[in-house]
Amino acid sequence: MAFKIGDRDMIIPHPFPYQGSKRNIAKSILRFFPDSSEGLIEPFAGSCAVSIAAAFFSKAKTFILNDSNIALMSLWDMIIKKPRELATQYRILWIEQQGNERSYYDAIRKDFNKSHNPAFLLYLLARCVKGSIRYNSNGEFNQSPDNRRKGMHPDKMEANIYNVSELFTGKIKLLNSDYKEALKLASSEDIVYMDPPYQGVCNKRDPRYISGLTFSNFVNTLNELNNRNISFILSYDGRTGNKTYGKPMPKSLSLHKIEINAGPSTQATLLGKRSLTHEALYLSPALIERLKDIEPRKLIHQPRQLSLFEYAQV
Ligand SMILES: C[S@@+](CC[C@H](N)C(=O)[O-])C[C@H]1O[C@@H](n2cnc3c(N)ncnc32)[C@H](O)[C@@H]1O
């Protein structure tokens, strides 16, 4: 049974867990969206948590979702265009695994690495450790299963897939390219939400990289967006307690930094500590200009860093 779309008390649908997903803070991020935007562009889409929330709350008329991961974008294509077929295939996999979950996962992972079947990827994401896509040096998916989880129940999966498909049908363009290609399509009427892979969670500890992207190259791209008057929101660094991740964005970009309280850090909780995680958002000058018409106007232009609670509920 599908959840009814439009009922604001219903849960926002999500077909799969994904490491780094912004699902928990998507609604907080939407507070910084202008009242009306033609399009929302997500160049580092992943599980598309912000786009799904934006579609759910009608924050944009059209959507461009891009990710460099080809298998992931094939999965999104099927979620949106063939929801019934995908839900049926997932149900078959989920039922077939019963009583044999570990070896079944291994067999599907092997098959996925040969066929790249999107239904297999959905099953793997539903069951793998931390919803984390990992590949070996041959480009094969090699993440282990989380043996405590059997994966989302097929009834719930079906409802999630159908609802996400309905939210996006007729309004979406999917791309599988480098983030810069997606940014070429942005206009000043749009809003761009960017969530590049973090330094904090990637293996590469070199601060000149944002997991594969050169920091200086990325900063140049942001500068070009400013020159084109593009409204964008960047999720970039963050901190847990006093520990900050990520090299600060240069002042020359004139970005407005906001911190969102993302709740207790899982790592700290495991260690018996009580540190809170704060995720940073950077708002572009063009976006700040569009937001100044919403209340409270005076707070938008204050130079000091604002807490989320100082902003009006959007
Ligand atoms: C932190 S995740 C985004 C998570 C997303 N906000 C969500 O809610 O699930 C970053 C994504 O960027 C993608 N990516 C990495 N490098 C990229 C590039 N150069 N261009 C486009 N996408 C890229 C990764 O495949 C990954 O899905």
Each residue's pLDDT tens digit in the chain (314 positions)? 343 444 444 689 999 999 999 999 999 999 999 987 899 999 999 999 999 999 999 999 999 999 999 999 999 999 999 999 999 999 999 999 999 999 999 999 999 999 999 999 999 999 999 999 899 999 999 999 999 989 999 999 999 999 999 999 999 999 999 999 999 999 999 999 999 987 544 444 455 555 668 889 999 999 999 999 999 999 987 777 777 777 889 999 999 999 888 877 665 565 666 677 888 999 999 999 999 876 554 444 333 344 433 333 32
Q: What is the dihedral of CA 119, 3, 66, 136, to 10 degrees?
A: -40
Measuring from atom 19 of ligand 1, which residue has the nearest CA? 178
Supply φ then ψ for residue 189, to 5 degrees: -85, -10
Measuring from atom 25 of ligand 1, which residue has the nearest CA? 69
State the distance from the centre of ligand 1 to the C-alpha of 299, rounded, in angstroms.
32
Question: For ligand 1, what atom is nearest to the CA of residue 212?
Answer: 16
Q: Ligand 1 in contact with 49 (CB < 6 A)?
A: yes
> SS3 of 194, please?
strand
Contact 255, 249 (CB under 8 A): yes
* H or E element, residue 306: strand 306-307
Report the C-alpha gap between 142 and 186 in whole angstroms: 35
Report the 10 Å Cβ neighbour count for 21. 18
Ligand 1 pocket, mutate which of 29, 56, 64, 68 (most atoms under 8 A from CB): 68
Question: For ligand 1, what atom is nearest to the CA of residue 201?
Answer: 1
State the distance from the centre of ligand 1 to the C-alpha of 2, rounded, in angstroms.
28
State the distance from the centre of ligand 1 to the C-alpha of 47, rounded, in angstroms.
9
Measuring from atom 12 of ligand 1, which residue has the nearest CA? 44
**Inter-helix orientation angle 118-127/101-115, to 10°:** 140
State the distance from the centre of ligand 1 to the C-alpha of 46, rounded, in angstroms.
5
